[in-house]
Structure 1
């Protein structure tokens, strides 16, 4: 098992590539996008995932990219403040914790730059998997000992090997768009959220207040093409057509945003994450949804454990990977549902769940 193909170049895929290369594996990463994907929401690295970043030698760099939020407030539909806190934020949680909140693309680039000796096939995708044989849309067919799906909620690898998405996805009744815009509200390391009955979201400053990330969401389940960005923008425009506060200005910036991303809040739950020589990592196998606040951490920890087991226990690596990770994953997914019932705010046992896994040591 020395030749590994990873589908997906966001965070989990490159993190796995890092550890596999460190252990002497030959690694190829295929990514549908033409390069590293820009944008994305602010994400959090917590608990054992912080240890993973330290073991990668990236702890100091991680902390240097912290969003350094000072606090948050909540406003009503007319912009009148109804709540304020300098102790926690909706996006990052307790500001006194050791957790690190940073932008998704900053973390992705950090890990990408740390990986050496990996072949990347950008602007390409897998079209079929037959045992070790993999065919691509553009590259020539090749054989791989191990194939990893780290390609997100709408995983192509999962669909090809395990079956249709509807067999594994559980929608949580909410949808969210994220994009970069100028910091027109002049927020200073601050975030403001507004929630109506149907639509709502928030705006937070980013990159030392040079810009902001805008979150626009709505309740209910809708059918949409997850690759049709213009149709997604139109959907947001329709939902927010009558929204007050800052939303009409946000819509103007949305049409110009180069990094717009939209998706349903959903979870992926599977009885097994592997089949034959194929295994799933991160959101592809066990998406917790943004309501968990743990998607990135689960991907980082999953990558570390999977690589370690492939090196130390190659014959039973997938079995060991699941044995170690599944209780941690299940606890985090269950917590997301509790957070949802709690209006999106972390429940009391959040910290206990975050730290519920003792990270293995691989020599």
Structure 2
């Protein structure tokens, strides 16, 4: 087995391509969008995802372009501090291996590491899959028919590969009852460097984060009154205006900035739960297989972890895909289930449904300022209890950085 088609050029797909290359396979990436996506939301990056990025030689650049947040602060209608805590506890729990950055920036860095060495088809998509005895025949919307030894769906919550090979999303999606939106504003005032501000009322929340180049990111989380998502950006903006029109703090200024925003991320807060992540020569990674939900804060790291393990198992099995897919699930299934359970608990903290819930949330956040209590309260969620297998990467390819080569050689020993 040699050729592998990967659908999705977000984070899981390029990470998988990187490690498949290191294992001696020939990956091809296909991405429906005409180019890498920009904007979006920020993520907190630590743990095993951080470790894998380091092995890929990316950590120096990640820390350079990332943000080192000093405080999470909850404010009232007048902008006064209600609760909050410094991020020192996170740094201590992660040994200082913790950074905040835009998801699109992480995606760009991972893709840059493979773009000159991996065939990539932008602006195209898989529209049909036919598994055959010795390979998989795919029909691409613009490129026609091609054959590959395996297909990997790394195409996110709304995976087309999952839909074609396993069935409609409705069979596997668990809607957590919230919607999320994110957008950037240029020249917004005020600015609060290295502080993540949160304003909340029952059933709705606004987060504001100051970024470089005079940009400000807004994250909005709210209870969903309707299961359907607005189909157009105009309708999405109208919904957000209806929900936040009478909000306090900076909601009116935020909505004025929203009206001028060119890009808007808008989606459901959902999990994907599947009885199996592979079927024949087709497998899924990242959100396509097990989305834990955006509010869990670990989707990007889990995408990298699953891609690394899948590539490693394909290398260890010397391309025997059934064996590799089975081992991949065995290693990650319980770990992912734990992350999904934690995400459900965490989701309610963003936009508590009642005023009492908001008060309790704020009280809990205040206690995080007590030395040692944050470690006790969230240490279990921060720590990664998975031990990454030690894989040998037989193809010491030239595009891997010297540091990464050295780590791969150490693992092979």
TM range (shorter): over 0.9
Structure 1: distance between partners of 2:190 and 2:205? 17
The aligned residue for residue 19 of structure 2 is: 19
Q: Shift of the alpha carbon at 1:22?
A: 2.0
TM-score, normalised with respect to structure 2:
0.82
Contact 1:179 1:260 in 2 (8 A): yes
RMSD, matched Cα: 2.1
Inter-partner Cα distance in structure 2 for 1:228 and 1:77: 31
- Give the superposition deviation at 1:259: 3.0
**Could you tell me how far 1:342 is from its partner in structure 2?**
5.3
Structure 1 contact 127–137 (Cα < 8 Å) conserved: yes
Query: Is residue 327 of structure 2 the alignment partner of residue 323 of structure 1?
Result: no
Q: Which residue of 2 aligns with 1:114?
A: 113
* Contact 1:46/1:354, CA 8 A, preserved across alignment: no
Q: Which residue is 1:30 aligned to?
A: 30
- Structural mapping, 1:64-83, within 5 Å: 64-83=64-83
In terms of fraction of residues, the more helix-rich structure is 2
1:362 and 2:391 equivalent? yes
Preserved CA contact (<8 Å) 1:6 1:27:
yes
Query: 1:47 — aligned with what?
Result: 47
Matched, 1:181 2:180: no
Tell me the SS of whatever aligns to 1:135: strand
Deviation at 1:127, TM superposition (A): 0.7
CA distance in 2, matches of 1:153, 1:200: 23
Mapping for residues 138-177 of structure 1, pairs under 5 Å: 138-177=142-181
- Could you tell me which runs of 5 or more consecutive residues in structure 1 were left unpaired when the two chains were aligned: none
> Is 1:94 matched up with 2:93?
no
- In structure 1, what is the equivalent of residue 401 of structure 2? none
The answer to whether the 8 Å contact 1:291/1:339 transfers is: yes
Q: Deviations over 1:198-236 (max 9, x none)?
A: 3222101113x6311101121125234476333222221
CA deviation map 1:309-346 (0-9, x unaligned): 11221321100110111121111111112223556779
For residue 252 of structure 1, report the CA deviation from its aligned partner.
2.1
The 5 Å alignment of 1:287-302 reads: 287-302=291-306
Q: Which moved more, 1:234-243 or 1:268-277?
A: 234-243
Q: Indicate conservation of the 8 Å contact 2:229/2:267, yes or no.
A: no
Select which of 271, 277, 295 maps to 1:273.
277
Q: Is the 8 A contact 1:331 1:353 kept in 2?
A: no
Report the more deviating stretch, 61-70 or 191-200: 61-70
State the match for 1:335 in structure 2.
Answer: 342
- Per the normalisation by structure 1, the TM-score is 0.92
CA contact 1:302–1:325 (8 Å) conserved in 2: yes
Partner residue in 1 for 2:208: 203
Contact 2:8 2:156 survives alignment (8 Å): yes
* Corresponding residue number in structure 1 for 2:224: 220
Question: Alpha carbons of 1:300 and 1:61: their partners in 2 closer, same or farther (altered >3 Å)?
Answer: same
Q: Give the corresponding residue for 1:2.
A: 2
Answer whether contact 2:205 2:350 (CA < 8 A) is retained.
Answer: no
User: Greater Rg, structure 1 or structure 2?
Assistant: 2
The one-character-per-residue Cα deviations of 1:66-94 (angstroms, maximum 9, x if unpaired) are: 21112121112343321232236xxxx82
Q: Distance in 1 between matches of 2:258 and 2:22?
A: 41
> Once the 2 structures are TM-superposed, how far is the Cα of residue 48 of structure 1 from its aligned partner?
1.6
Question: Is the alpha carbon distance of 1:353 and 1:191 closer, same or farther for their aligned partners in structure 2, counting shifts above 3 Å?
Answer: closer
Q: Is the 8 A contact 2:221 2:350 kept in 1?
A: no
- Residue 21 of structure 1 deviates from its aligned partner by 1.7
Q: 2:84: which partner in 1?
A: 84
Moved more, 185-194 or 266-275: 185-194
Q: Distance in 2 between matches of 1:240 and 1:338?
A: 24
Aligned equivalents of 2:379, 2:346: Cα separation in 1 = 9
Q: Which sections of structure 2, spanning at least 5 residues, go unmatched?
A: 352-364, 366-373, 393-413
Cα 1:213–1:352 shift into 2, 3 Å: closer
> Which SS does the other structure have where 2:144 is aligned?
coil
